[in-house]
Amino acid sequence: MKRDRKTKIVATLGPASNTYEMIRKLHEAGADVFRLNMSHGSHPEIAERHKMIRQVEKDLDSPIAILADLQGPKLRVGVFANDSEELEWGETFRLDLDETPGTHKRVNLPHPEIFAALEVGSHLLVNDGKISLRVEECGEDFANCIVETGGTISNRKGVNVPDVVLPLAALSEKDRKDLEFVCALGVDWLALSFVQRPEDVMEARELAGGRASILSKIEKPAAVKSFDDILAVSDGIMVARGDLGVELPVQNVPPIQKRLVRKCRAAAKPVIVATQMLESMIESPMPTRAEVSDVATAIYEGTDAVMLSAESAAGDYPIEAVTTMNNVAIEVESDSTYVEIIEASRTAQRNSVADGIVAAAREIAETTNIKSICCFTSSGTTAALVARERPRVPIIAMTSCRGTARRHALTWGTQSVMTGELERFKQAVVNAARAARANGYADENDQIVVTAGVPFNQPGTTNILRVAPCDERLIYSTDPE
């Protein structure tokens, strides 16, 4: 399905988008990737959503990526005798392993691993940071705290510990079961929550066994500090600004977002900017001006994708939310300032023959009247390298691998087209010309750039670049091979 933009849109499915008809409408409105939130929904419900997405993909003949977002470890306080209590600034409050219902002086925190990591001066944030506690004294089963920011604390509210690296596995027992389930279903991407270290990613990769690509969610200060190492072992990144904005001062998040997006671009790995992008559209058919600016900022940075969460999963206006994102992306990308920003932030990579080929493809496309870059890719690496260049023209990823085509629904500027396995480069050029014409990217009077690796179907062999006409008769008459 031809898009008039290069930035991709991720839409989360939920009660508001739980039918074939709605999923199809969302895709037609602009959703390129569907997110299955494993924090909500039973396995049968997730399987039914997966089935409907694949049916939409088949009916529209349009590769769709499915992203399964694992819940990760959830840290929560216990319950209170009165269901909730008011904490005042300067008061003392105790967290411990005692399961007795809490009072205005203490509550259960059923996570001994937190107490093992705490130090005097560490902070605990409760209920999305609305309450802040500073540790005055701690041991293996308790923490006596001072209330630095008061408020209402109630049953099972979430707890964040921003100051320390917790000795927690990124995958809970539930996550392990969910991972196996969605890999057996056939999802394309696995989003790993609360990553703190590269070892967390490697554990998930080993369990996935190549059945899905691994996308690391950056939502912990520890992940920001170890980002280069995490990026090196991940297939993609999500800048998950929800918990990141809780555990860090909110003014730190925008520069972190910008820095992480640029590092992902340089590494040729897709990056999603997520959380609260159009949150007012959960209840309103129109976004705020600030939300539109937020989405636009991520697009100006060159992010691969922007994401809708509750807006499409549980909101009253899921179609309108996707349409708004689509329209913002089209408008931003048509701005001359966007091109200037993207090109000024491009990082030159000249470490291999493939790097040279894709850089040359972009330069040729931008200095002549080339309509698109068609790259033949087996594993998807060549298309990712072309996308890293952020060319002004569309990228057509020609592949015989359905999984590769689906994964690239998350890659900036890339339209995937299925092709049969090839043995001769001339046939590859012919197929590329046909794909460019069929998808509306060129006509018979236009030219395209074709990149490929010979021998075909061997990852890492990108070694050919050709400027070719879209008229098949000219291809056959000028190429004797």
Q: Give residue-wise pLDDT tens across range 80-90.
A: 999 999 999 99
Cβ atoms < 10 Å from Cβ of 125: 21
pLDDT digit string, tens, across residues 1-29: 789 999 999 999 999 999 999 999 999 99
291-307 pLDDT tens trace: 999 999 999 999 999 99
Amino acid letter for position 166: L
Strand duo 92-96 + 142-149: pairing: antiparallel
To which H or E segment does residue 366 belong? Answer: helix 353-367
Q: Which amino acid is at 45?
A: E
Q: Which residues are catalytic?
A: 35, 76, 217, 275
pLDDT at 206 over 90: yes
Would you say residue 479 has pLDDT above 70?
A: no
The pLDDT value given to residue 438: 92
Helix spans in 368-457 (H): 381-388, 402-407, 425-438
Q: What is the mean pLDDT of residues 115-120?
A: 94
- In angstroms, the first-to-last Cα distance of the chain is 32
Q: Quick one: average pLDDT of 166-183?
A: 92
Question: Would you state the pLDDT for residue 176?
Answer: 96
- pTM value? 0.93
Rounded (5°) CA angle 178-184-190 = 55
Q: Which domains does the chain have, with CATH numbers?
A: 8-72+170-337 (3.20.20.60), 84-160 (2.40.33.10), 353-478 (3.40.1380.20)
Mutual angle of helices 336-344 and 289-300, in 10-degree steps: 50
Mean pLDDT on 363-391: 93
Return the number of other C-beta atoms located less than 10 Å from residue 246's C-beta: 17
Nearest in space to 427 (alpha carbons), one of 382, 476, 361, 368: 476
Please give the C-alpha separations between residue 136 and each of 85, 140, 188, in angstroms, as whole numbers.
Answer: 21, 14, 46
Residues making up the chain, counted from first to last: 481
* pLDDT computed for residue 349 by the predictor: 72
Distances (CA, A) of 456 to 362, 415, 424, 459: 22, 20, 8, 8
Q: How far apart are alpha carbons 467 and 373 in whole angstroms?
A: 9
> Which amino acid, 438?
A
The reported pLDDT for the residue numbered 480 is 47
